[in-house]
Structure 1
Amino acid sequence: MNYPNGKKYQRPSVLGNTPIQSKRTNSTFSNRGMKLEKLIEESNAFYLTHNRAIIHKKPTPLQIVQVDYPKRSAAVVREAYFKQPSTTDFNGVYRGRYIDFEAKETNNKTSFPLKNFHPHQIEHMRNCAGHGGICFVIIRFNLYNVQYVLPVEHLFPWWDEMETGRKSIPLAVVEAHGEKLETGAFPALDYLNAVDAIYFRETESLKE
């Protein structure tokens, strides 16, 4: 299996069924979001079990190049490439509306680097928001062990000015316009409470 840069996929050494982990870990853009994504996936499973929402992580598409058929009833993929995802990480349905969002992490202390987003992701989020979908990003600041739900309308202006302006969103802006999330047990990260506060505040007020 090959990655988009042409490098071969190297299977890690294993002892039994457990991969041998190096003591030194490299923080890359591809693996920074794994911890946050795991919290979200655990929360999505909780939401689904309790019939609160249907939200799933989108699978990364594969381009299959070579397949062998050692048996008529079996196929073995010999070579494939990970294709760049064309949209965001998660989507689904909540309270009768389409929901779509991206999850990102940073080790920066005072800002979130905009280069963590891809142009096609921004375009996709613009389209979703333009059609009335609930669209946001969950941004985690690892050093403070804190994360926020930030509506995309507070992301787009910073992205649009990135070429001539600063290349990051200040933490103060995220704090001012985002909803802070606390980690817990059930669910692990109750981001739908933040969604309620941002997107259904007027609806709740009318009920009262």
Structure 2
Amino acid sequence: MINYPAGQGPHKKRRNPYSSATNYSSRGMSFEDKINQSNLYYLKHQIAVIHKKPTPIQVVKVDYPKRSAAKITEAYYRNASTTDYNGIYKGLYIDFETKETKNKTSFPLSNLHDHQLKHMHDCYQHGGVVFLLISFRSNQTVYLLPFKLLQYYLDHFQKQSIPYEFIEQNAFVCSQGIFPPIDYIQALDKFLDQQ
């Protein structure tokens, strides 16, 4: 007989089936995780091909504690990233950035960087469908804000944030569920129908 610490056997301790543990299965899923899951759903159902862009890094130092376990210990961003996602939908080039805010009354423009805005502008100028997906955590609402509206706001208002009311009245609400977690394609269709 083997004596294990605290009298436990080699098996994991069994959970009491009558305990009142709450299941928080998708509650901890981040906004980006939900978008990634939505993209997998769109790909699997042949709706769209949209992927997260990798952030380019320069690896400087790697440790090899064992042959099979290389570990990057020092790396730097090569250059500023552009937007989070791009791909193809209905023959159109799609390019968008995702942002999340805890703010209840507005979306802070400090969340967008100049190089991102320039990239979005360049894609838009070349006929791409460009937008922001904004998640307001306080009310669990996600909006698709077309770049055209974002540019209009930036050109006409000298403010440091976009009021929630402006987004609510002008952007497109993305429905949320299980498959896909955030259906931004449905919101995108509504936007494209108005073009």
User: TM-score with structure 1 length normalisation?
Assistant: 0.73
> Tell me, what secondary structure is at the counterpart of 1:185?
coil
Give matches, 1:74-113, under 5 Å: 77-83=72-78, 85-113=80-108
Give matches, 1:10-89, under 5 Å: 35-67=30-62, 77-83=72-78, 85-89=80-84
Q: Which of 109, 123, 126 is 1:114 aligned to?
A: 109
AA matched with 2:93: Y
The yes-or-no answer on 1:192 pairing with 2:185 is yes
- State how many pairs are aligned: 167
Q: Is the 8 A contact 1:158 1:168 kept in 2?
A: no
Find the aligned partners of 1:38 and 1:72 in 2 and give their Cα distance: 31
Q: Which runs of 5+ in 2 are unaligned?
A: 1-28
Cα gap change, 1:106 to 1:76, in 2 (>3 Å):
closer
Q: CA deviation at 1:136?
A: 0.3
AA matched with 2:39: N
AA matched with 2:45: H
AA matched with 1:118: H
Find the aligned partners of 1:72 and 1:141 in 2 and give their Cα distance: 45
Q: CA deviation at 1:113?
A: 0.4
Cα gap change, 1:69 to 1:117, in 2 (>3 Å):
same
Residue 7 (structure 1) aligns with? none
Q: CA deviation at 1:153?
A: 1.1
Q: Is the 8 A contact 1:114 1:159 kept in 2?
A: no
The yes-or-no answer on 1:127 pairing with 2:119 is no
Comparing 131-140 with 77-86, greater Cα deviation is found at: 77-86
> Tell me, what secondary structure is at the counterpart of 1:42?
helix
RMSD: 2.3
Deviations 1:7-34 (A, max 9, x none): xxxxxxxxxxxxxxxxxxxxxxxxxxx8
Find the aligned partners of 2:96 and 2:34 in 1 and give their Cα distance: 14
Cα gap change, 1:76 to 1:172, in 2 (>3 Å):
closer
Find the aligned partners of 2:114 and 2:161 in 1 and give their Cα distance: 15
Q: CA deviation at 1:78?
A: 3.7
Cα gap change, 1:201 to 1:158, in 2 (>3 Å):
closer
Q: Which of 159, 173, 193 is 1:166 aligned to?
A: 159
> Tell me, what secondary structure is at the counterpart of 2:130?
strand
Q: In percent, how many aligned pairs have the same letter?
A: 49
AA matched with 2:117: I
Residue 183 (structure 1) aligns with? 176
Q: CA deviation at 1:118?
A: 0.3
